[in-house]
Amino acid sequence: MERYEKVEKIGEGAFGVVYKARDRQTNAMIAMKKIRVQEDEGIPGFAIREISLLKEMQHCNIVRLLDVGFSEKSVYLIFEYLDLDLKKHMDSSPKFSEEQHLIKVRVLHRDLKPRNLLIDLRTNTIKIADFGMGRAFDIPVQTLTDEVVTLVYRAPEILLGSRHYSTPVDLWSIGCIFVEMVNRCPLFCGDSEISQLFKIFRVLGTPNEETWSGVTSLPYFKCSFPKWAPMDLAELVPNLEPAGIDLLSKMLCLEPGRRITARKALEHEYFKDLGMVPVT
Catalytic positions, please? 111
Contact yes or no for 74/231 (Cβ under 8 A): no
Q: Which amino acid is at 87?
A: K
Q: Given its phi and psi angles, is residue 205 left (phi above 0), alpha (psi -120 to 50 degrees) or beta?
A: left
Residue 259 CB contacts under 8 Å (≥ 6 apart), including other chains: 168, 171, 172, 250, 251, 253
What are the CB-based long-range contacts (under 8 Å, 24+) for 144-152?
A: 148/110, 148/111, 149/110, 149/111, 149/112, 149/173, 150/111, 150/113, 151/190, 151/192, 151/193, 151/196, 152/113, 152/176, 152/186, 152/188, 152/189, 152/190, 152/196
The burial of 217, by beta-carbon neighbours within 10 Å (0-12 exposed, 13-18 middle, 19 or more buried), is given as exposed
113 is in an annotated binding site: no
Selection from 122, 261, 117 nearest residue 180 by Cα: 117
Strand order in the sheet with 84-85: 84-85, 117-120, 125-128
Q: Which amino acid is at 48?
A: I
26: how many CB neighbours lie within 10 A of its CB? 9
Torsion 153-99-134-21 (CA) sign? negative
d(CA 119, CA 175): 19
**Residues flagged as binding site:** 33
**Residues flagged as binding site for ATP:** 33
